[in-house]
Amino acid sequence: MIPPVDSFVCVLLCLFYGVSSEELLSLNGKWRLLNSNGSVSLPAQVPGCVHSALQQQGVILDPYFRFNDASYRWIALDNWTYTTTFTVSAELRVTQQVRLVFDGVDTVASVSLNGIVVGETDNMFRRYDFSVRHLLKDGDNVLNVALLSPLLYATERRRAHSSYRVPPECPPDVQKGECHVNFIRKEQSSFSWDWGPSFPTLGLWKGVGLEAFDALRLVQVSSVPLYNLSSSQWTVRVELLVDAVQTTDGRVTLSVPELDSEQTFLTRFQPGKNKNSFTLLISTSSRVKLWWPSGHGDQPSYHLTVRGFQDRVLVLSTESKVYFRSVELVQEPLPGSPGLSFYFRINGKPIFLKGSNWIPAHSFQDRVTPAVLRNLLQSAVDVNMNALRVWGGGVYEQDLFYDICDEMGIMVWQDFMFACAMYPTEDDFIQTVREEVVQQVQRLKSHPSVIIWSGNNENEAALATDWFDIPSSQRPTYVKDYVTLYVNNIRKIVQEEDHSRPFLVSSPTNGAESEQEGWVAANPYDPHYGDTHFYSYTLDCWDWRTFPRTRFASEYGFQSWPSFSTLQPVSIPEDWSYDSNFTSHRQHHADGNQQMLLQAGLHFNLPNSTDPLKRFTDTLYITQVMQAQCVKAQTEFYRRSRSEIIEGKGQTMGALYWQLNDIWQAPSWSSIEFGGKWKMLHYFAQSFFAAVLPVGFEDDDTLLIYAVSDLSRDLKLRAVLTVYSWTDLDPVCTLRSDLQPVTGGSAVAIYKQPVAALLAGCGHCTRLTCVLTFRLEEEGGSQQGPTNHHFLCSPRDARGLQTPNITAKVQEDPTGFSVTLHSASVAPFVWLDVGDIAGCFSSNGFLMVSENRTVSFNAWRPTSVAELSASLTVTSLRDVY
Ligand SMILES: *[C@@H]1O[C@H](CO)[C@@H](O)[C@H](O)[C@H]1NC(C)=O
Ligand SMILES: *[C@@H]1O[C@H](CO)[C@@H](O)[C@H](O)[C@H]1NC(C)=O
Ligand SMILES: *[C@@H]1O[C@H](CO)[C@@H](O)[C@H](O)[C@H]1NC(C)=O
Ligand SMILES: *[C@@H]1O[C@H](CO)[C@@H](O)[C@H](O)[C@H]1NC(C)=O
Ligand SMILES: *[C@@H]1O[C@H](CO)[C@@H](O)[C@H](O)[C@H]1NC(C)=O
Ligand SMILES: *[C@@H]1O[C@H](CO)[C@@H](O)[C@H](O)[C@H]1NC(C)=O
Ligand SMILES: *[C@@H]1O[C@H](CO)[C@@H](O)[C@H](O)[C@H]1NC(C)=O
Span 780-823, pLDDT tens digits: 999 999 999 999 999 999 999 999 999 999 999 999 999 999 99
CA of 851 to the centre of ligand 7 (A): 7
- The DSSP element (H or E) to which 478 belongs, if any, is helix 475-482
Cα distances from 799 to residues 36, 166, 525, 770, 793, in angstroms, run 68, 56, 41, 8, 10
Q: Which atom of ligand 4 is nearest to the CA of 581?
A: 1
CATH number of 807-880: 2.60.40.10
Q: How far apart are CA 576 and CA 564, in angstroms?
A: 9
Please check whether residue 1 is in contact with residue 126, taking contact to mean a CB–CB distance below 8 angstroms.
Answer: no
Distance of CA 114 from the midpoint of ligand 2 (Å): 22
Please give the angle made by the CA atoms of 81, 86 and 91, to the nearest 5 degrees.
145
458 is catalytic: yes
pLDDT at 647 over 70: yes
- DSSP character at residue 738: P
- For residue 249, the tally of other CB atoms under 10 A from its CB is 10
- Strand arrangement, sheet containing 261-269: 261-269, 248-256, 302-310, 313-322
Nearest alpha carbon, ligand 5 atom 14: 608
- Indicate if 217-322 has the same CATH topology as 8-210: no
pLDDT band (50, 70, 90) for residue 9:
very low
Q: How far apart are CA 812 and CA 865, in angstroms?
A: 7
Give the closest residue to 443 by CA, choosing from 410, 500, 396: 396
Instruction: Quote the pLDDT of residue 406.
Output: 98
> What is 217-322's CATH superfamily?
Immunoglobulins (2.60.40.10)
- Ligand 1 centre to CA of 364 (Å) is 23
**Cβ atoms < 10 Å from Cβ of 549:** 22
> Ligand 7 in contact with 851 (CB < 6 A)?
yes
Is the CB of 379 within 6 Å of ligand 6? no
**Catalytic one of 187, 555, 636, 673:** 555
The residue-averaged pLDDT of 3-19 equals 34
Q: In what order do the strands lie in the sheet with 128-131?
A: 10-12, 22-26, 208-213, 97-102, 128-131
- Cβ-Cβ contacts under 8 Å for 539 (sequence gap 6 or more): 546
* Alpha carbon distance 318, 218 (integer Å): 9
- Cβ of 41 below 6 Å from ligand 1: no
Ligand of minimum distance to the alpha carbon of 796 = 5
Would the CB of 163 count as within 6 Å of ligand 1? no
* Pairwise CA distance, residues 811 & 866, whole Å: 9
Specify the pTM. Answer: 0.96
Three-class DSSP labels, 139-170 = CCEEEEEEECCHHHHHHHHHHHCCCCCCCCCC
Which residue ranges have their beta carbon within 6 Å of ligand 5? 605, 608, 610, 881
Tell the residue nearest (CA) to atom 5 of ligand 5: 605
pLDDT tens string 393-423 = 999 999 999 999 999 999 999 999 999 999 9
User: Which ligand is closest to the CA of 34, given by its number?
Assistant: 1
pLDDT at 244 over 70: yes
CA distances, 867 to each of 675, 845, 859, 873 (Å): 19, 22, 12, 12
CA of 825 to the centre of ligand 6 (A): 9
Residue 485 has pLDDT above 60, yes or no: yes
Is position 319 annotated as part of the catalytic site?
no
As a whole number of angstroms, the distance between CA 817 and CA 405 comes to 29
- Residue whose Cα lies nearest atom 5 of ligand 2: it is 148
**Residue range 70-81, pLDDT digits in tens:** 999 999 999 999
The bound ligand whose nearest atom lies closest to the alpha carbon of 230 is: 3
d(Cα 108, Cα 429) in Å, to the nearest integer? 13
**Residue closest to 632 by CA, chosen among 703, 699, 589, 696:** 696
Task: Compute the average pLDDT of residues 278-298.
Answer: 96
Residue from 34, 37, 41 whose mutation best tests the ligand 1 pocket (most atoms within 8 A of CB):
37
Label residue 20 by pLDDT band (50, 70, 90). Answer: low
Element (H, E) at 595: helix 592-601
From the candidates 458, 497, 636, 673, give the one annotated as an active-site residue. 458
Annotation: CATH topology of 8-210: Jelly Rolls (2.60.120)
* Other Cβ atoms closer than 10 A to 481: 17
Task: Assess whether pLDDT exceeds 60 at residue 632.
Answer: yes
Query: What residues pair up with 577 in beta bridges, in sequence order?
Result: none
355-685 maps to CATH 3.40.1710.10: no
Report CA Rg, the chain. Answer: 29
Beta bridge partners of 119: 111
Q: Tell me the per-residue pLDDT of 331-390, one tens digit each, with 9 for 90 and over.
A: 999 988 999 999 999 999 999 999 999 999 999 999 999 999 999 999 999 999 999 999
Helix (H) or strand (E) holding 98: strand 97-102
| Ligand 7 centroid from CA 821, angstroms | 10
How much distance in Å is there from the Cα of 232 to the middle of ligand 3? 9
Share of the chain above pLDDT 70, in %: 98
**C-beta of 852 in contact with ligand 7 (< 6 A):** yes
* Count of CA atoms in the C-beta half-sphere (13 A) of 729: 13
Ligand nearest to the CA of 582: 4
pLDDT tens digits, 27-75: 999 999 999 999 999 999 999 999 999 999 999 999 999 999 999 999 9
Residues framing ligand 3 (Cβ under 6 A) = 228, 230-231
Q: Is the minimum distance from the CB of 35 to ligand 1 under 6 angstroms? A: yes
Quote the CA–CA distance of 756 and 771 in Å, as a whole number: 13
Q: What percent of the chain has pLDDT over 90?
A: 95
- Looking at residue 31, its amino acid is W
Rounded mean pLDDT of the chain?
96
According to CATH, what is the number of the domain 692-797? 2.60.40.10
Give the separation between CA 227 and CA 214, rounded to whole angstroms: 38
Q: What is the pLDDT of residue 458?
A: 98
Q: Which pLDDT score is estimated for 21? A: 65
How does pLDDT run across 132-157, given as a tens digit for each residue?
999 999 999 999 999 999 999 999 99
- pLDDT at residue 4 above 50? no
pLDDT band at 620; cut points 50, 70, 90: very high
Q: What pLDDT score does 312 carry?
A: 87
Contact criterion met (CB below 8 Å) for 289 and 340? no
pLDDT at 18 over 60: no
**CA dihedral defined by 281, 283, 284, 285, rounded to 10 degrees?**
30
Q: Are 220 and 442 in contact (CB under 8 A)?
A: yes
Residue 868 has pLDDT above 60, yes or no: yes
Look at ligand 2, atom 10, and give the residue with the nearest C-alpha. 79
Whole-angstrom distance, CA of residue 804 vs CA of residue 800: 11
Closest-lying ligand to the alpha carbon of 823? 6
pLDDT at 174: 98
Kindly list the domain boundaries of the chain, sorted by start residue. 8-210, 217-322, 355-685, 692-797, 807-880
Looking at residue 311, its pLDDT comes to: 87
Identify whether the C-beta of residue 652 lies closer than 8 Å to the C-beta of residue 708. no
| Alpha carbons 879 and 873: distance in angstroms, whole number | 11
Which atom of ligand 6 is closest in space to residue 802's alpha carbon? Answer: 13
Q: How far is CA 221 from CA 77, 236, 299, 318, 449, in A?
A: 39, 12, 21, 8, 17
Q: Which of 226, 227, 229, 230 is the best mutation target for the ligand 3 pocket, counting ligand atoms within 8 Å of the beta carbon and taking the most?
A: 230
**In angstroms, what is the span from residue 76 Cα to ligand 1's centroid?**
13
Among 242-251, 395-404, 520-529, 665-674, whose mean pLDDT is lowest? 242-251
